Amino acid sequence: MHLQRTKRNIFRGLLMLLAFLVLVIIGAQWMAKDAIAGFLKNELPSGIQLDYEDIEVNVLTGSAKLKMIALKVGTQDSLRDGTAKINALEVVGLGYWQFLVHQKITLRTLYIERPILTYGLKDKESDTTRRGKHPLGSVQALEVGSIKVVDGDVTLYKDQSDSVALKLDSVNIEISDVATDASRIVTKLPVTYSSLGFSGASLMADLGPYETLGVSKVEIKHGALVISDLALKSKYSKKELSWHLHKEHDFIDLKIPELSFENMELGYSENKYRLRTGIAVMKGPDLELYRDKLLPDDTERKKLYSEALRELPIQLDIPKIEISGGHIAYSERVNTETAPGKINFAEVSAQILHVQNIPGKKVKTSVEAKALLMNEAPITLNWSFDTQKKSDAFLASGTVKGFNPKNLNPFLESNLRVRARGDIQELYFTVSGDAVSSLGDMKMKYEDFEFSVLKKDRLRINKLLTAIGKVFVNDGSNTDENGYRYGGIEAQRDPTKSFFNYLWLNVSDGLTSTIIGNGKNERRKK
């Protein structure tokens, strides 16, 4: 009898304990749900408005889930009001004790399902990040083991309009070991993390009134960035573009099947962001450029590449860029009577070393490139400069071999009203210069070289000017014992033109000196 009474007492005690535990769990569920709801209502940074359809909390698993979220963000830096619609946001492994007692949020996983984000860009940037509540509210620190974003979309709109500035679909993100605290959240790099995975598709960016950028896929994995099917294109056809322009501006059509960067690393120092990468590889770039020379000149000053790198708002350090399988075509419209002439460079390959602007880093940026001029003649270019030198000093050299000038006649006839024939067996040039002027030399081995000057219709030969030209142009005879003729180079840079225009001025001056001058190596005489 006593044993039965004892068993009944134990059973009642267990029932009471179980009921108490259930009440504790229900109370904890209610307290946790109320605490999270209160945090979302009262502790979010100013300018953020959050609404949701339902919230589920499980204190046993340390999880919480918000469903059908509508988020509105007020003005921040360069963004106008933004909105986000999220199917579900779930946190797993929430440390309630840390959250309730120490104002510290610790999560094992933050899962964001199908976020659709839209933002509007402001007219001008303003610094509003420090106004109102602290970004973390009363929370002192945040630690998340893993953040996963699944199948999101991002759209940025232009200022005061509904035109799309940038759009990216199918965004998937996974970040590990994310952490921040009250002091770090207000810095330029507000969070730390151990690894980042990212992928997105169908990127479209509006680059201004004339060009757009498109990418079929972008992916970051193990610190490497891979961009697939990049396309930078003019918004209009060549003819339509001229209608929209009030001064010269290139029509561009650039396609890059694959562009990759190894070991990307972003940092911040000396009041600048810093981007370091490993080797970059560009496969199969195809570039077409066209310029309507009938439009007024663009008289804005053009920076040389050394100055442009030096004045970037970000510190950049890329040790090597490898380019293979490229193609470049350039054409100009200089009159209304004939079709634009075109220059082609096939099988373009290059190695670009030390693309950097790190203060105090004493290493030159150098380019070694080769191609086939007009799809047949091997051509090379070697070029180097130091971004630290404000004189923008550079050294360039190049070669052309086995070139028949008549292959360039469509371009020469349209642009220069001349027609050439002969055989350029070898051409070498070296140029040393800066942002103001340059000096150099050239040597050529050629045979039966001749220019014919055309009339304005570019169909008939101007016999008088052609005859006068033959008096001055050497056909390739009167050479040294090795068959070379020599010429000097001296050029003044037009600061309203690009570096490649500057380089052409040097080559053009060298050609003129070599085929019209005495052909002797003046340097050897000295």
**289-343 pLDDT per residue, tens:** 999 989 999 999 999 999 999 999 999 999 999 999 999 999 988 777 777 778 9
Residue after which a domain boundary falls, among 369, 404, 431: 369
Mean pLDDT on 9-36: 52
Does residue 522 fall inside a structural domain? yes
* Mean pLDDT of all residues in 104-128: 76
Same-domain check for residues 262 and 345: yes
Q: Identify whether 295 is part of a domain.
A: yes
Please compute the mean of the pLDDT values over residues 433-453 and round it to a whole number.
Answer: 85
Is residue 183 domain-resident? no
473 lies in the same domain as 353: no
pLDDT for the residue numbered 432: 97
Structure confidence at residue 19 (pLDDT) = 46
pLDDT at 312 (0 to 100): 93
Flag whether 354 is in a domain.
yes
Evaluate if residue 416 carries a pLDDT over 70: no
Same domain, 344 and 404: no
* Residue entry with tokens 């008096």: 471
Q: What is the average per-residue pLDDT within 257-262? A: 97
Instruction: Give residue-wise pLDDT tens across range 368-406.
Output: 999 999 889 999 999 999 999 999 999 999 999 988 877
pLDDT winner (highest mean) among 46-60, 73-87, 488-502: 488-502
Q: Is the separation of the CB atoms in 235 and 210 below 8 Å?
A: yes
- pLDDT greater than 60 at residue 146: yes
Neighbours of 100 (CB within 10 A): 12
Where is the domain boundary, 369, 404, 422? 369
Same-domain pairing of 349 and 404: no
472 domain residue, yes or no: yes
Please say whether the beta carbons of 75 and 113 come within 8 A: no
* Closest by Cα among 168, 245, 234, 167 to 200: 168
Long-range own/partner contacts, residues 124-128 (CB < 8 A, 24 or more apart):
125/77, 125/78, 126/75, 126/77, 127/77, 128/75, 128/76, 128/77
My answer on whether 244 and 283 are in the same domain is yes
Asked whether the beta carbons of 442 and 431 are under 8 A apart, the reply is: no
Confidence of residue 20 (pLDDT cuts 50, 70, 90): very low
In-domain check, residue 31: no
Tell me the C-alpha to C-alpha distance, in Å, between residue 90 and each of 66, 69, 103, 141, 383. Answer: 6, 11, 20, 19, 55
Of residues 92 and 14, more confidence is placed in: 92
The answer on 402 and 345 residing in a single domain is: no
The DSSP annotation for 210-264 comes to SEEEEEEEEEEETTEEEEEEEEEEESS-HHHHHHH-SS---EEEEEEEEEEESS-
**Residue 382: Cβ-neighbour burial (10 angstroms; 0-12, 13-18, 19+):** middle
Specify the pLDDT at position 471.
44
What's the chain's average pLDDT? 82
Q: What percent of the chain has pLDDT over 70?
A: 75
Residue 266: enclosing H or E segment and its boundaries?
strand 265-269
Least confident span in 165-169, 231-235, 355-359, 467-471: 467-471
**Does 193 map to a domain?**
no
Same-domain pairing of 337 and 272:
yes
Residues 273 and 357 in one domain: yes
Task: Give the pLDDT of residue 25.
Answer: 43
322 located within any domain: yes
Show which of 334, 369, 404 is a domain's final residue. Answer: 369
pLDDT for 350 beyond 70: yes
Q: Which domain holds residue 494?
A: 393-526
**When comparing pLDDT for 251 and 458, which is higher?**
251
Q: Please check whether residues 465 and 431 belong to one and the same domain.
A: yes
Position 255 scores a pLDDT of: 98
Res 459 pLDDT > 90:
no
CA dist., res. 323 & res. 349, Å (int): 5
> Would you call 124 exposed, middle or buried from its count of C-beta atoms within 10 A (0-12, 13-18, 19+)?
exposed
Give residue 14's pLDDT band: very low, low, confident or very high (50, 70, 90): low
Query: Residue range 228-249: average pLDDT?
Result: 95
* pLDDT higher than 50, residue 119: yes
- Residue written as tokens 């960016």? 205
pLDDT band at 9 (very low <50, low <70, confident <90, very high): low
As a whole number of angstroms, the distance between CA 381 and CA 370 comes to 6
**325/443 same-domain check:** no
> Any bridge partners for residue 234, and if so which?
211
Cα–Cα distance list, 314 to 309, 354, 502 (Å)? 9, 15, 27
Note the pTM of the prediction, 2 decimals: 0.85
Do 494 and 428 form a contact (C-beta atoms < 8 A)?
A: no
Segment 397-425 mean pLDDT: 76
> Which pLDDT tens digit goes with each residue over 467-498?
545 545 566 677 788 888 898 999 999 999 99
Confidence at residue 332, expressed as pLDDT on a 0 to 100 scale: 87
Q: What pLDDT is attached to residue 102?
A: 66
Which one is predicted more confidently, 17 or 365? Answer: 365
Q: Does residue 404 share a domain with residue 353?
A: no
Pairing relationship of beta strands 280-283 and 314-333 according to DSSP bridges: parallel
Are residues 345 and 438 located together in one domain of the fold? Answer: no
Q: Which residue has the higher pLDDT, 71 or 247?
A: 247
User: How does residue 526 score in pLDDT terms, banded at 50, 70 and 90?
Assistant: very low
Model confidence at 429, in pLDDT bands (50, 70, 90)?
Answer: very high
Q: How far apart are CA 45 and CA 291, in angstroms?
A: 51
**Number of structural domains found in the chain:** 2
